């Protein structure tokens, strides 16, 4: 099967700023692929090139089998949900969808059929006749996703689909995204700086930072690459315990706490307690830390994803979305 998207050394420079620095990757048909990275990492720039909105400085890409110069073919094959809201507030949900269908020269009968199908997919049938300005932030986002699907794209780009939404609404959107990936058999490329979102939703993730891919794989393989779970133990005789547990996993003492890196922490915890009991060492606390994608990011960059200050533009986006 041909990949949905393949890029080779894809690069975009804005003046002296290399926003995207030689990205090469393959995205399979039907997968949900995530570009995860902090603000300014180059996520939007990457999607903008793949959706033919801006031209790369160098490198190449194939989208649905077409080189980037085949703008018309690519635009028919893809749907996009932009980072910034782009609905007409004065129109109803249905009218927004109909307008989009007309732009794609869909005949009226087909538009009507498709409008009910996509509204159903995102659970907005009941609101279809209301003006968009009466919608909540989450409903607007769902309508934008529905609109991106109107013309039956093979590939759907979602740029920060849940930016600025509250956690509960965010989870709702995740459900809709995985449902439409299955029902519509559409390949989804989404960008996010929320690691939980990438973890919950994506089949594979490319973690990007400063325009480069720093890690790529399934959420599980990325987290496994850190070497396992960490059991953090507080005990009176922490040094002695550390030497006893040396064979069990990698041990390290920091600030009087012993951390043991093991595979399958849930199963190892009782064994570890048994060893301590056998040697009459009193454990005062035990906690299990499962690695997160944030830990993967930290391992590769030495920084946290959240450390980057949100830009004023992003703050504005969050406020606008929340309304
Ligand atoms: N149109 C533009 N002109 C100049 N610089 C830009 C433009 N778009 C993005 N950039 C810069 O490129 C880098 C990557 O931006 P962007 O792709 O928007 O990141 P992300 O979507 O990951 O937050 C940033 O340094 C940003 O300031
Ligand atoms: Mg962006």
Which ligand number lies closest to the CA of residue 39?
Answer: 1
Domain boundary among 194, 223, 252: 223
In a domain, 304, yes or no: no
Distances (CA, A) of 29 to 182, 241, 250: 12, 50, 40
Cα dihedral 144→150→154→155 (10° resolution): -10
Domain boundary among 223, 258, 274: 223
In a domain, 313, yes or no: no
Bridge-based pairing of strands 66-67 and 78-81 is: unpaired
| Ligand 1 atom with the shortest distance to the CA of 39 | 23
Exposed/middle/buried for residue 216 (C-beta within 10 Å: 0-12, 13-18, 19+): middle
HEC string for 264-275:
CHHHHHHHHHHH
Strand partners, 191: 35, 159
- Say what the pLDDT of residue 311 is: 63
Q: Are residues 218 and 91 in the same domain?
A: yes
Q: Are residues 131 and 210 in the same domain?
A: yes
Q: Are residues 178 and 271 in the same domain?
A: no
| Ligand 1 atom with the shortest distance to the CA of 314 | 23
* Residue 98 structure tokens: 């109909």
Burial code of 116-144, b = ≥16 C-beta within 10 A, e = fewer? eebbebbebeebbeeebeebebbbbbbbb
Q: How far is the CA of 11 from the centre of ligand 1 (A)?
A: 12
Q: Are residues 51 and 151 in the same domain?
A: yes
- Which residue puts its alpha carbon closest to atom 17 of ligand 1? 42
Q: Residues with beta carbon inside 6 Å of ligand 1?
A: 14, 17, 19, 37, 39-45
- Say what the pLDDT of residue 199 is: 96
Q: Are residues 216 and 238 in the same domain?
A: no
Q: Which of 13, 14, 54, 301 to mutate to test the pocket of ligand 1 (most atoms within 8 A of CB)?
A: 14
Rounded Cα distance, 198 and 75, in Å: 25
Which ligand number lies closest to the CA of residue 36?
Answer: 1
- Say what the pLDDT of residue 304 is: 85
Q: How far is the CA of 116 from the centre of ligand 2 (A)?
A: 30
Which ligand number lies closest to the CA of residue 46?
Answer: 1
Q: How far is the CA of 96 from the centre of ligand 2 (A)?
A: 24
In a domain, 305, yes or no: no
- Say what the pLDDT of residue 109 is: 96
> For the chain, where are the alpha helices, taking DSSP H only?
43-50, 71-77, 93-103, 108-121, 137-149, 167-183, 195-201, 219-224, 238-244, 265-278, 293-301, 312-322
Q: Are residues 219 and 283 in the same domain?
A: no
Rounded Cα distance, 296 and 225, in Å: 8
Q: Are 155 and 63 in contact (CB under 8 A)?
A: yes
Domain boundary among 208, 223, 238: 223
CATH number at residue 189: 3.40.50.300
**For residue 56, what are the domain limits?**
5-223
- Say what the pLDDT of residue 314 is: 66
CATH number at residue 265: 3.30.70.980
In a domain, 320, yes or no: no
Q: Are residues 141 and 186 in the same domain?
A: yes
Question: What is the pTM assigned to this prediction?
Answer: 0.87
Rounded Cα distance, 159 and 43, in Å: 8
| Ligand 1 atom with the shortest distance to the CA of 15 | 4
Q: Are residues 153 and 104 in the same domain?
A: yes
Strand partners, 13: 18
DSSP, res 51: T
Question: How many Cα neighbours within 13 Å face the side chain of 70?
Answer: 13
In a domain, 301, yes or no: no
Interacting residues of 19 by C-beta distance below 8 A, sequence separation 6+? 12, 13, 42, 45, 211
Show pLDDT as tens, one digit a residue, over the chain (323 residues): 899 999 999 999 999 999 999 999 999 999 999 999 999 999 999 999 999 999 999 999 999 999 999 999 999 999 999 988 889 999 999 999 999 999 999 999 999 999 999 999 999 999 999 999 999 999 999 999 999 999 999 999 999 999 988 888 899 999 999 999 999 899 999 999 999 999 999 999 999 999 999 999 999 999 999 988 999 999 989 999 999 998 888 899 988 899 999 988 999 999 999 999 999 999 999 999 999 999 999 989 888 887 555 566 666 666 666 55
């Amino acid at each position: 099967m041909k990949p949905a998207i393949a890029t080779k050394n894809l690069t975009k420079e804005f003046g002296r700023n290399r926003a995207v620095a030689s990205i090469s990757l393959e995205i399979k048909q039907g997968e949900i692929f995530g570009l995860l990275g902090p603000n300014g990492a180059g996520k939007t720039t990457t999607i903008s090139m793949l959706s033919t909105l801006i031209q790369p400085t160098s490198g190449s890409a194939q989208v649905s089998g077409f080189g980037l110069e085949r703008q018309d073919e690519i635009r028919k094959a893809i749907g996009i949900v932009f980072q910034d809201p782009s609905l007409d507030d004065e129109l109803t949900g249905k009218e927004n969808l109909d307008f989009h269908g007309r732009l794609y020269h869909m005949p009226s009968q087909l538009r009507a059929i498709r409008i009910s199908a996509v509204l159903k997919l995102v659970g907005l049938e009941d609101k279809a006749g209301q003006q968009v300005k009466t919608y909540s932030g989450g409903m607007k986002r769902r309508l934008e996703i529905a609109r991106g699907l109107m013309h039956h794209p093979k590939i759907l780009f979602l740029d920060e689909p849940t930016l600025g939404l509250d956690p509960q609404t965010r989870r709702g959107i995740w459900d809709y995204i995985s449902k439409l990936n299955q029902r519509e058999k559409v390949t989804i490329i989404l960008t996010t700086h929320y690691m939980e979102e990438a973890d919950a939703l994506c089949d594979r993730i490319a973690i990007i930072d400063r325009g480069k891919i720093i890690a790529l794989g399934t959420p599980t393989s990325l987290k496994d690459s850190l070497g396992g779970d960490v059991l953090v133990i507080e005990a009176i005789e922490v040094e002695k315990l550390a030497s006893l547990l040396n064979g069990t996993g990698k041990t390290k003492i920091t600030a009087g706490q012993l951390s043991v890196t093991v595979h399958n922490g849930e199963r190892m915890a009782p064994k570890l307690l048994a060893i301590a009991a056998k040697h009459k060492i009193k454990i005062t606390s035990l906690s299990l830390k499962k690695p997160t994608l944030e830990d993967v990011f930290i391992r590769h960059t030495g920084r946290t994803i959240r450390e980057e200050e949100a830009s004023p533009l992003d703050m504005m986006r969050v406020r606008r979305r929340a309304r």
